Amino acid sequence: MNETMNLLIGLAMGLNLLALGSNRLPTVIRAMAVQGMALGLMPLLIEGQLNWRVILVAVATVVGKGIVIPTLLRRAMRAANIDREMEPFIGFVPSLLLGAGGTIAAVGLARLLPLLPEHAGSLLVPGALASVLTGFVLLIGRAKAISQVCGYLILENGIYLFGLLLIHSTPLLVEAGILLDLTVGVFVIGIIVDRIQRAFDSLDTRKLTVLRE
């Protein structure tokens, strides 16, 4: 069980790097969606036995992160008619190296943390830290609003992974609330992206810092 879990988290870590290294927006969205789905399966693996609550959380996460949110983002992308190449503030190679360095540091750091013995061998904590870091790099290093949204969602994946440590004590309502918040957030961002596009004829967030009458 632990092996499968580590494999899934390893996959998520690889997808982090793919999102950092890719210069195409659809690839980043797909990486984020696959990552969300992989992480959505985690509660099933952690819990071991199946009860309706775990299945509900897993299904909601997979559908929400893997299908609904990416569809919303793709629609926003199509509606705003933006070109798919991304313009980085931080170049692809430096951000890839940053992400890899962060991942290695996270693995190193997690060994020093006083974790519960059942979490010691798993990649849960390093994976969470690495995803959060990747999200930060994407948020800071990309100019387009949609890629920043992707960064935000990857960051949220990291937080979700961290939250899995507490799966036994988090009520279902909290998880459902988080997921709902996220979906609404992406929905709102989709609208905002459209507005930015209309006002500035571009989604380049650099233009938002210039004041105009």
Q: Given the rule CB under 8 A, which residues bind another protein?
A: 7, 10, 17, 21, 23, 92-93, 96-97, 100, 103-104, 107, 121
Buried b (16+ CB within 10 A) or exposed e, 42-80: bbbbbbeeeeeebeebbebbbebbbebbbebbbebbeeb
At 79, the amino acid letter reads A
- Of the two residues 120 and 172, which places its CB atom closer to another protein in the complex? 120
How far is residue 73's CA from residue 150's CA, in Å, rounded to a whole number? 9
**Min. distance of Cβ 157 from another protein in angstroms?**
19
**Min. distance of Cβ 212 from another protein in angstroms?**
34
Would you list the DSSP string of 128-175?
HHHHHHHHHHHHHHB-BHHHHHHHHHHHHHHHHHHHGGGTTTS-HHHH
- Of the two residues 106 and 186, which places its CB atom closer to another protein in the complex? 106
**Min. distance of Cβ 193 from another protein in angstroms?**
27
- Of the two residues 54 and 123, which places its CB atom closer to another protein in the complex? 123
- Of the two residues 102 and 190, which places its CB atom closer to another protein in the complex? 102
**Min. distance of Cβ 27 from another protein in angstroms?**
13
